[in-house]
Chain A
Amino acid sequence: MNRTHHSLLLFFFAFVMSTGAAIGQKVNYSEIIKPFKNDPVFKNPKGAVKPGILQMPYITWAADGVTIHANGGERPNAGSKLGRAAGSPVKLERVDEFDKQLKAYIAGDSPFLRGTIGMINLAAEGLTAISPDLAPIVFMQLSWSTGADGFVAKGVNKLSDLKGKTVVVQRTGPHMDLVNVLLQDAGLTLADVTVKYVADITENPDNPVPGINDPAGAFRSDSTVDGAAAIYPDILTLTAGGTVGTGAEDSVKGAKPILTTRTASRVIADVYAVRSDWFAANPDRVKSIAKTLLEEQEIFRDYLDNVAKKKSADQAKLREFKQLSRPLAGIFLFDEAAVEDFVMWLGLDSELALFSGNEEFFGNEKSPVGFAAANQRIQSYYAAGGLISSQSLPTAAKFKWFESEAVPVPAVTVKPVFSSAQAVRAAAESSSAGELFTYTFGFPASMADLAWRDYPDVFNTIHEKVTRYGGAVVQLRGHADNMFHNFVRMKRSRGASTYERKVGGAFKKFPLPQVEEVANAANKLSYSRAFAVKRAYAQYLREHHGLSAQEMDLSRFDVKGMGVSDPKHSNPSSPQQRTENMRGELIIIGVESEIPLDFGMEDLR
């Protein structure tokens, strides 16, 4: 696995884990009260937001380092960029436990919630039930998780194998939605699996409750658990460095990484939300806070782009970046010298949303991974699982940065994940590649035409998956029915040069083609079918989403004609079976270890 950047983080977490990972310790499972609005946290008394120093929670996440930098540290600092934007000093406080954040939010200690879009959706019903004043208004997206989180399991090759299994996940944490999405995309519901919850996302030495409180620990200690949503360093440990766990050195025998957010790069959206009453009273302050934080993100993005220039990077700028990142490494990794790990975490395991990402997330109503679509998806899934009793959609502040704030509009550029078609093919065929989802299209005999308008729902779903799994290869495989090929082979092997077929009620003789002619025609037909899916998707993007060719990213598509080598029925004996052989498949393939990284540890030294 090409993830050397995790080494220090891994060391850190391994150190933490060594404090309490012994097999046999009791796992402290906790329950989620269904619906979640009945959780005791919502019984806390509501208070008005306190004046004076503004409390703002942050969590252990690299993108929050940008927020801390904008504030000149965690302490209140009226002269900092964030302090000036907020109109009062801002005290940043790390609050990884969402329940604690909710308590402070309800009580008025802080008007803000810092979570993922899944976490905000989970809490929205309970908060709104207390008072519409508490309804969360999501006002900015900080980032996407692009490698820091994932799912590990044993006895599972693809996600649909999770049916009937038991998985463990942090209660009310960012991974709840990750698990939901994976199950949903595998065609499963929460009822198809047993979900167990623990308090922490990883081993937490500050948790006063003795025993095991994290998913990795539970997976290790409880043999009834088949899979866990975990942070990447834990996944590495559980799977013996990203391969298959042996049972030794804290790994779980047979455990394999199923995927991380490097593949599912549009699932975990980190956001800030604000209380409705405070937003109504302070719209300009909220907008100013968001603008300042996004401006700070643009500065960090510029630094990261410089790092990605590798050998041609501006060295003075690189030194400056490392210098300003040192305190952030100290805060998050407890060691200022771990600045390179912090930069890797920020630039590779997460993707800053920036102004453009916020415009897209909140403004593009057609985006399958945008705010509106995410809320609908999450709420319907929570409702089906009994976590909410009725739909209570969070709203968005919907700031228009490019229109009203004169933020420069960035040029439309689609950065390909892979450098070439060959690299895509090599990744798809690597030993670590794993098929996640498959969609099949049927074709009439000898035909390879496909119009997206004939399958609008299918293409909507495909677009959703292709976008959500932004690090995956999308392989298109075309197939031809092998019946005629078999027939010609059989006839030729018996020395025939003609065959008979019925014309006008009587059999007539026709020249028999050669085997290689039929095979070549099948190869071309199968490739044409695979390519027809790519073409139809491009047409869908242009006609349904209004994207120009420059805005489309088809670089992850690998088109493959399978000829007659992989029929669904090897000896088709009915028109039904032959029809099933005439197909095109769209397969989303996770290629975790093959995804090229923008930069490596060596580029930071």
Chain B
Amino acid sequence: MKNLFPSLVFFAFTNCFLPNPTFAQSSDFAELDAEFASQTGTAYTIIFDDSGSMEGGKLSQAKQAFRWWLEKAEPDNAWCFLPMNRRSLDVDFVKNGESQVLKAVDKLRVGGMTPIVATLERAFRMIQKRRDSVTPYERHLLILLTDGHETKHPGGNDAVCDMVSKLRLEGVEVFGIGFHGQGDYLDGFATHFASANNRDELQRSLANVDAEVPLDIEFRISPEEEKAMAALPLGKEVRVSHGGAQGEDGYGLFSEEEDSRLGIVLVVVVGFVVLVFIAKRAVSP
């Protein structure tokens, strides 16, 4: 590279935990600020292993790990919580939903199997739905806290790794958090892997990465590597849907037509239910 790209530059991989200044735009255009924020935040999906094997100190440790991790998470983002077993505690994506997720985490008790693949699939569907209906530009981080092994999918841990790879190919950054060597099979498959008891490592996993490098930084790259780079196909376009232009809270709707249509539908449905109820009462002896 040095020979062929004398002034080729690269980038800086920022190890700071502050919001990236590139995007810290603000102005007195409140509506524009809201539009920008609605499209470009981070959406966190937290998957908690609440299986029987997490009994004892592990669950408390996982909860503590999550809190450490939360300390460094940026504000104004969307949160989703998916326990593997107690689905009544599910939290769908909520903007600034940290406290809601924390409450659900506190209520978590152990018991049941470890359906990691099924939970990852569920998470992927929710991420896709959010990309389609809210915005395709959010950064999606999936945090998987587990002590170990898939117990429901016949493919076992290999199926977990396959699913993690699939998520990453779809642009989801997967953070695996394991316990004392358990769950380590994710190391090398997940975007990052950390142990639940390693506070620094957990917090470092939230670092921002830059997409571009300043033009005056020189990188080491061999001619062979340079050739390989040239042969790469183009990167994928972020998946953009018509719905995804809407943003959080329906940003971008200019009329209330759809709301009123929804209102009409609701009135009709409620009216129908009331009518059925009255009719049943009328015919009952």
A-side residues, CB < 8 A to B, are 416, 418-422, 424-426, 429, 445-449, 480-487, 489-491, 493-494, 499-502, 507, 510-528, 531-532, 534-535, 538-539, 549, 555, 558-567, 570-571, 573-575, 578-579, 582
Do B29 and A538 touch across chains, with their CB atoms under 8 A apart? yes
- Identify the closest chain A residue to B204 (Cβ): A511
Contact A532 B247 (CB under 8 A): no
Residues of B within 8 A of A535 (CB): 25, 27, 29, 32, 36
Complex CA–CA separation, A516 to B139 (angstroms): 10
Indicate if B3 sits at the interface (CB-CB under 8 A): no
> Within 8 Å CB of A534, what residues of B?
32
Contact indicator A538/B211 (Cβ below 8 Å) = no
Q: Are B168 and A485 in contact (CB under 8 A)?
A: no
Which B residue's beta carbon lies closest to that of A505? B218
A502-B217, A524-B139, A563-B237 known; A481-B212 Cβ under 8 A? yes
- A507 pairs with B235, CB closer than 8 A: no
A-B contact pairs, 25 of them (CB 8 A): A421-B251, A445-B9, A445-B212, A446-B11, A446-B22, A446-B211, A446-B212, A484-B10, A494-B225, A501-B10, A516-B172, A517-B209, A520-B171, A520-B173, A521-B208, A521-B211, A523-B171, A525-B22, A527-B39, A528-B23, A531-B39, A565-B235, A565-B236, A578-B215, A579-B215
Beta-carbon contacts under 8 Å, B172-216 to A: 172-173, 191-192, 208-215
Measured between beta carbons, the chain A residues less than 8 angstroms from B243 are 422
- Write the nearest CB–CB distance from A483 to chain B, whole angstroms: 7
Residues 1-26 of chain B, each 1 if its beta carbon lies under 8 Å from chain A, else 0: 00011011111110000000011010
Contacts of B277 in A (CB 8 A): none
CB neighbours of B218 from chain A (8 A): 501-502
Q: Among A425, A531, A582, which residue has its beta carbon within 8 angstroms of that of B242? A: A425
Chain A neighbourhood of B172, CB < 8 A: 516
Shortest distance from the beta carbon of A318 to any chain B beta carbon, whole Å: 21
A490 to B254, Cβ gap below 8 A? no
Contacts of B35 in A (CB 8 A): 531
A519 to B246, CA, bound (A): 22
Contact across chains for B213 and A575 when beta carbons are under 8 A apart: no
**A501 and B220 within 8 A (CB):** yes
New A-B contacts (9) at CB < 8 Å, excluding given A494-B228, A575-B8:
A420-B252, A445-B213, A484-B10, A485-B211, A490-B232, A514-B192, A516-B171, A524-B23, A575-B7
Residues of chain A within 8 A of B258, CB atoms compared: 420
How far, in angstroms, from A349 to B33 measured CA to CA in the complex?
36
Q: Are B212 and A513 in contact (CB under 8 A)?
A: no
Contact B237 A562 (CB under 8 A): yes
Contact B13 A480 (CB under 8 A): no
Decide: A516 and B168 in contact? CB cutoff 8 A.
Answer: yes
For residue B128, give the distance in angstroms from its CB to the closest CB of chain A: 15
Q: Given the complex, which residues of B lie within 8 Å of A561, measured CB to CB?
A: 137, 238
- The answer to whether A527 and B168 have CB atoms under 8 Å apart is no
- Docked Cα-Cα span, A567 to B236, in Å, equals 11
B11 engages A484 (CB within 8 Å): yes
B23: A residues at CB distance < 8 A: 448, 524-525, 528
Task: Report the minimal beta-carbon distance from A582 to chain B, rounded to whole angstroms.
Answer: 6
Given known contacts A419-B255, A487-B221, A499-B219, is B22 in contact with A558 (CB within 8 Å)? no
Cα A514 to Cα B207 with chains together (Å): 12
B31 contacts A by Cβ under 8 Å: yes
Partner of A518, one of B39, B209, B246: B209
User: For B235, what are the chain A residues with a Cβ–Cβ distance below 8 Å?
Assistant: 482, 485, 519, 522, 563-565
A516:B11 contact, CB within 8 angstroms: no
What residues on A are CB-neighbors of B71 within 8 Å? none
Question: For the complex, is B283 an interface residue (Cβ under 8 Å from A)?
Answer: no
Asked if B100 CB lies within 8 Å of chain A CBs, one says: no
- Give Cα A181–Cα B4 distance, bound, in whole angstroms: 47
Most buried by A among B212, B219, B236, B242: B212
- B234 interface residue per 8 A CB criterion: yes
CA–CA, A521 and B35, complex, Å: 19
When chains A and B are docked, how far (Å) is the Cα of A308 from the Cα of B33? 33
Which residue of B220, B238, B240, B252 is within 8 Å of A499 (Cβ)? B220
Q: Which residues of A contact B192 (CB under 8 A)?
A: 514
A-B pairs, top 5 by smallest CB distance, nearest first, are: A421-B252, A565-B237, A522-B211, A564-B235, A521-B211
In whole angstroms, how far apart are the Cα atoms of A335 and B166 in the complex?
66
Interface SS of chain B: helix, strand, loop or mixed? Answer: loop
Chain A residues closer than 8 Å to B264, beta-carbon distance: none
Contact between A523 and B230, CB atoms less than 8 A apart? no
What residues of A have a CB within 8 angstroms of the CB of B252 in the complex? 420-422
- In the complex the two chains form, what is the Cα distance from A502 to B1 in whole Å? 12
Q: Contact: A525 with B220, CB < 8 Å?
A: no
Question: Which of A487, A559, A561 has the most chain B CB atoms closer than 10 A to its own CB?
Answer: A487
B137 touches A487 (CB 8 A): no
| Contact between chains at A538 and B22 (CB < 8 Å) | no
In the complex, A510 Cα to B254 Cα: how many Å? 48
Please, how many angstroms separate the alpha-carbon atoms of A29 and B257 in the complex? 52
Q: Which of A429, A520, A532 contacts B25 (CB 8 A)?
A: A532
Is B253 among interface residues, defined by CB-CB distance under 8 A? yes
B229 part of interface (Cβ distance < 8 Å): yes
A167–B19 alpha-carbon span in the complex (Å): 55
Residue B40, interface by CB 8 Å: yes
Q: Give A555 to B252 CA distance when docked, in angstroms.
A: 8
On whether the beta carbons of B253 and A523 are closer than 8 Å, the reply is no
Shortest Cβ distance from B36 into chain A, in angstroms? Answer: 5
What's the nearest-Cβ distance from chain A to residue B97, in Å?
20
B245 at the interface (CB under 8 A from A): yes
Q: From residue B238, how far is it (CB to closest CB) to chain A in Å?
A: 4
Q: Which residues of A contact B212 (CB under 8 A)?
A: 445-446, 480-481, 483-484, 522, 525, 578, 582
Q: State whether A521 touches B237 (Cβ < 8 A).
A: no
Q: Say yes or no: B209 contacts A523, CB within 8 Å.
A: no
Q: Is the CB of A549 within 8 A of B229?
A: no
Q: How far is the CA of A445 from the CA of B217 in the complex (A)?
A: 11
- Chain B's closest residue to A507 (CB) is B220
With a CB–CB cut-off of 8 A, which chain A residues contact B137? 523-524, 527, 561
A519-B171 contact given A446-B22, A446-B211, A484-B213, CB 8 Å threshold: yes
A523 contacts B238, C-beta separation under 8 Å:
yes
Tell me which residues across on chain A come within 8 A of B208, comparing CB atoms. Answer: 521
Check if B215 sits within 8 Å of A486, measured CB to CB: no
- CB neighbours (8 Å) of A538 from chain B are 29, 32
Cα distance A566–B238 in the bound complex, in angstroms: 11
- Say how far A581's CB is from chain B's closest CB, in angstroms: 9
Kindly provide the distance from the CB of B19 to the nearest chain A CB, expressed in whole angstroms. 11
Interchain CB contact under 8 A, B225 and A501: no
A565 touches B234 (CB 8 A): yes
Q: How far is the CA of A533 from the CA of B23 in the complex (A)?
A: 14
Q: How far is the CB of B182 from chain A (nearest CB, A)?
A: 23
Min CB gap B115→A, angstroms:
24
B22 contact set on A, CB distance < 8 A: 446-448, 525, 528
A343 to B180, CA, bound (A): 78
Contact A528 B25 (CB under 8 A): yes
In the complex, A117 Cα to B96 Cα: how many Å? Answer: 55
Do the beta carbons of B171 and A521 come within 8 Å of each other?
Answer: no
Instruction: Return chain A residues, CB-CB under 8 Å to B36.
Output: 528, 531, 535
Among A446, A507, A511, contact of B210 (Cβ-Cβ < 8 Å): A446
A521 touches B209 (CB 8 A): yes
* Residue numbers in A under 8 Å from B29 (CB-CB): 535, 538-539, 549
CB A505 to nearest CB in B, in angstroms, measures 10
Give the distance in Å from the alpha carbon of A329 to the alpha carbon of B253 in the complex: 38
Check B229 against A524 for contact (C-beta < 8 Å): no
* CB neighbours of B221 from chain A (8 A): 487
Contacts of A511 in B (CB 8 A): 13
Report whether B219 and A501 are in contact in the complex, using a CB–CB cutoff of 8 Å: yes
A516 and B5 contacting across the interface, CB-CB below 8 Å:
no
8 A Cβ contacts from B158-172 to A: 168-169, 171-172
**B240 pairs with A560, CB closer than 8 A:** yes
A493, A501, A507 — which one has the most chain B CB atoms within 10 A of its CB? Answer: A501
Contacts of A558 in B (CB 8 A): 245
Q: Taking each of A499, A517, A570, which has the highest tally of chain B beta carbons within 10 Å of its own beta carbon?
A: A517
